[in-house]
Structure 1
Amino acid sequence: MIECLFHRRGGDGEFEVFESTDGTRSNWDPQIQHGSPPLALLTKAIEERSAGTGLRIGRLTLDILGAIPVAPVRVRAWVDRPGARISMIAAEMLADRPDGSRRPVARVTAWLLAPSDTSDVVTDRYPPLVEGKAASVAHAWEGAPGYLETVSWRRQVAPDRLGESAVVWLSPLVPLVDSEPTTALQRLAMVVDSANGIGAALDPQQFLFMNTDTAVHLHRLPRGSDFALRARGSIGPDGIGVTTAEIFDRDGFIGTCAQTLLVQRRV
């Protein structure tokens, strides 16, 4: 039984060490991690590093720098651009090479901004989404072990209209790290990288379409544990694609995300 995505294993100098559990395993390849667990863990490191600053995260960008093994990883965070109103905090994840040296496998950068009262001019681009009936088949990786076991995935029954964006409601089923509290932003990070699978424009039995990044922009912080992604992929003529999505919680529209895709035919 998967109890969490990572176990904390203490410190190693400037790094915190975490053991990756089976809940991080990708549906593409069980030897590597799905993108959402590293994004969530690095988001946690950024939130911990920014505690007490009075700033809030407005953008998170995950760059996947290499295959992330399901193995012990080291995480650190630092202030890359200090500021009282605008600051950038970065976090990175390192994994061991076979020779014992370490390589960076993922990096998240976050813009943090000073909040102020703009409640009288709030605008939402889209109306709230209401969860409806779920489709009988949640996704094209039905039965895949690992990460997909740690998320409740409710694909919405959509009208039969060509080009309609897919909508899925998602909820994490396990904590991020041991029994440590998981913030709403971390819970969103635990599912948002799934936009690529939700908005898939290709059959995964015939094509690989793995994302190299996930950029999340939030005009409002998420609330709760349930999030909807309305996603759609676009495939170019030369093996590169993009997936974009609108992000919702139970209270309404909160932001957007975009992912760059490497597209290859399966041989």
Structure 2
Amino acid sequence: MIDCMFRRHGADGEDEVFESTDGTRSNWDPEIQHGSPPLALLTRAIENLAAGSGLRIARLTLDILGPIPVATVRVRARVERPGSRISLMSAEMLTDRPDGSQRSVARVTAWLLAPSDTADAATDRYPPLVEGDPAAVAHAWEGAPGYLEAVSWRRQATPEDAAVAGSGGSAAVAGSGGSAAVVWLSPLVPLVDSEPTTPLQLLAMVVDSANGIGAALDPQQFVFMNTDTVVHLHRLPTGQDFALRARGSIGPDGIGVTTAEIFDRRGFIGTCAQTLLVQRRE
């Protein structure tokens, strides 16, 4: 039974040590981690480092530096560019090689800015999304163990679904039609053991799923894994339910991009983008 994504195993010098659970396993390969759990754990490290600074995270960039094993990982965070109004912080995830040395597998950098009162000038690009009944098929990885068991995934029906159903076909499972796909997601377990998980960490636990939500290709025929996830937030998230409205674009040379708008129950909060390596399955 999956009860959290990571278990804390104390500290080793400047590093926090965690054991990765089955809840981190990727739908592409169960031996490696889905991108969202590492993004969330490194976001946690940056939030802890920034505590008391008076700054808030406005942008998160996850770079996946290699396969992230479902194993013991180390996390360390540091200030790259100090400042009272603008600061750059980073967090790194490392794993052990067979020879005992360490390799860096993921890095998150974050711009933190000083808040001020702009309530009278606030604007939202899009109206709030209201969750409807979920579509019959949540995604194209039905039955995949691991991360997808630890997240509630409610895909919203699209006009393409209705058209396909009317023709007697199977419901669409991704954003490969004319409309962007919308999925509401909620983590079902804490990020670390039973400790409280902040709203920003909860969002990070699901936002890397934009690639799967906006899939423009059939995952039975293609692999399209993202190398990064970049999140811009004009407002901090609230609650634990988030919607991603995502769409993928595939180039002619094996490289793609997924972009998404991010919503919480109150409305639009930001955007994310991902770079994709696209390969045809053998």
Which residue of structure 1 lines up, in the alignment, with residue 220 of structure 2?
205
Which of 169, 174, 178 is the aligned partner of 2:184? 169
| Amino acid across the alignment from 1:244 | T
The residue that corresponds to 1:230 in the other structure is 245
Task: State the distance in 2 between where 1:97 and 1:26 align.
Answer: 20
Offset from partner CA, 1:130-157 (integer Å, 9 cap, x none): 0001101100000000000000000001
Please tell me the residue identity of whatever aligns with 2:48: E
Q: Give the RMSD, CA atoms, in angstroms.
A: 0.7
Q: Using the alignment, how far apart are the partners of 2:124 and 2:60 within structure 1? A: 20
Q: Distance in 2 between matches of 1:34 and 1:249?
A: 22
CA distance in 2, matches of 1:223, 1:28: 30
Look up the match of 1:135: 135
Is 2:137 aligned against 1:152? no
Deviation at 1:99, TM superposition (A): 1.2
Equivalent residue number for residue 122 of structure 2: 122
1:165 deviation in Å?
0.1
SS in 2 for 1:37: helix
Separation (CA, whole Å) in 2 of partners of 1:198 and 1:157: 12
Q: Could you tell me how far 1:112 is from its partner in structure 2?
A: 0.2
Aligned residues: 267
Hey, what's the Cα distance between the residues in 1 that align with 2:178 and 2:49? Answer: 42
Amino acid across the alignment from 1:186: Q
**1:158 positional shift:** 1.1
- Residue ranges of structure 2 left out of the alignment (5+ in a row): 164-176
Equivalents in 1 of 2:127, 2:185: separation in Å? 18
Return structure 1 stretches of 4+ with deviation > 4 angstroms: none
- Please name the residue that 1:17 is paired with: 17
Q: Distance in 1 between matches of 2:157 and 2:4?
A: 30
Q: 1:236 Cα deviation (Å)?
A: 0.2
Give the Cα–Cα distance (whole angstroms) in 2 for the partners of residues 49 and 163 of structure 1.
43
SS in 1 for 2:31: coil
Distance in 1, matches of 2:13 and 2:156, equals 46
Number of the residue aligned with 2:200: 185
**TM-score relative to the length of structure 2:** 0.94
SS at match of 1:124: coil
Task: Compute the displacement of 1:188 (Å).
Answer: 0.1
Q: For structure 1, which runs of at least 5 residues remain unmatched after alignment?
A: none
Letter in 1 for 2:86: I
Counterpart-to-counterpart distance in 1, 2:246 and 2:269: 14
Q: Deviations over 1:53-78 (max 9, x none)?
A: 00000000000000000000000000
Query: Equivalent residue for 1:106?
Result: 106
Name the structure 2 match of 1:216. 231
Matching residue's letter, 2:55: L
- Residue 159 of structure 1 deviates from its aligned partner by 1.4
**Normalization by structure 1: what TM-score?**
0.99
CA deviation map 1:17-61 (0-9, x unaligned)? 000000000000000000000000000000000000000000000
* Residue aligned with 1:34, SS: coil
**Pairing 1:39–2:46 present:** no
1:260 matches 2:266: no
